[in-house]
Amino acid sequence: MTLSRRSLLKHALLAGAWYGAVGRSFAQASSPEVLGQGDFKYRVVPGWGVLDEKTPVNDCHGLARTADGHIVLLTNHVANNIIFYDEAGKLANKWTGSKFPGAHGLSLAPHRNKSTLFITDLNLHTVTRFALSGEQLGEWRLPADTGKYVKEADYRPSWTLHRADGEFYVLDGYGKDYILHYAADGSFKRLLGGPEGGIVHWGPHGGMIDTAADSAETMLIAMSDQQYLLRLDLDGKKLSQTDLPGGNPRQIRRFGQHYVVAHLADNWPKDRNSRGFLSILDRDLRVVSNIAGSAPVYDAAGKLLPMKHTADVFTHPHDVIANPDGSLIVAQFASGKTYPIKLERI
């Protein structure tokens, strides 16, 4: 064995020991406690989604739901980046595409009348499209001649947002905070946002194309460490800002006539041991329930007071999706290699 191989083995063993300790510290949630307020109350479904050592996870970053009811999980474990669950939380399928060590964002989007998966990778600086079977259909790297990037390593795409007509947007949430706009055929169109567009760093993490506010499509972006949601038109112009003090919105999803937001933690990044919660928002983006968090309170001026986590159910929620029956599935970052958590609505 060469010295370099010994060194690699040593680091792997140390990493395994650290993750093992963290995993023992943050056991899979099994709380019988009723979580949330008002019309949105939940209870953890014990054991849902827990698999064996043949299908390990690292950070559970992204979620999607297919037309046939399968839950798709994105993890940065290169042995099985994509895991398909059936509705009972049992393993239905799994695959790894090109091995994504920095797997981060997962989006389900149509392509030629079929559902496809978009994966962003922070380490590889790529956006990749796959068939649900695992066949790679396309890859996008940093477009040449944007005039905003010195090198590809400055580009670290966090999520993709998709329009019904096939056009899509890439959030460079860990790089330079631009929004890259692509045509339906995959060709690069233009660069939006960035510092000159009023997009601050450690902001545009996740989001969605939204039609709920009015008839026009808009981008609704979870601005993570900035503790707010940002609504932009499709040209990148700021339309509104919704403050979520005490939160750290990593992703926002539609939930019928409501929205659900995954907050990484209530004091992140100052305290990386602080824990997170979920928020349910109405169509006007007012918080109506906090799951594993404090009840939302607005002052006389309509300003939301700081929220905080109140129940040790989640560690660091990173993505959340809603099922047709109102249940929620939560994926977590840096949470001891725990599998997704399912919450049933009560």
| Distance between CA atoms of residues 256 and 244, nearest Å | 21
28 Cβ partners below 8 Å, 6+ apart? 47, 50, 338, 339, 341
Specify the pLDDT at position 11.
40
Is residue 213 very low, low, confident or very high in pLDDT (cuts 50, 70, 90)? low
Identity of the residue numbered 53: E
Nearest-angstrom CA–CA distance, 38 and 269 = 30
Give the tens place of pLDDT for each residue, 73-130: 999 999 999 999 999 999 999 999 889 999 999 999 999 889 999 999 999 999 999 9
pLDDT value for 214: 63
Give the span between the Cα atoms of 114 and 288, in whole angstroms: 35
Q: Evaluate if residue 12 carries a pLDDT over 80.
A: no
| Tokens read off for 296 | 């939302």
Environment class of 302 (CB within 10 Å of its CB; exposed 0-12, middle 13-18, buried 19+): exposed
57: buried, middle or exposed (CB in 10 Å: 19+, 13-18, 0-12)? buried
Question: 62 or 20: whose pLDDT is higher?
Answer: 62
Q: What is the DSSP letter of 346?
A: -
DSSP state of 292: T
Domains of the chain: 3-25+32-345 (2.120.10.30)
Distance CA 275, CA 179 (A): 29
Instruction: State both tokens at 127.
Output: 């956006």
Cα–Cα separations (whole angstroms), residue 39 to 245, 252, 276, 294, 344:
22, 19, 21, 15, 13
Q: Does residue 269 have a cis bond before it (omega within 30 degrees)?
A: yes
- What would the two tokens of residue 20 be? 């093992």
Within 10 angstroms of residue 241's Cβ, the number of other Cβ atoms is 13
In this predicted structure, the answer to whether residue 246 has a pLDDT above a threshold of 70 is: yes
Across residues 18-36, what is the average pLDDT? Answer: 61
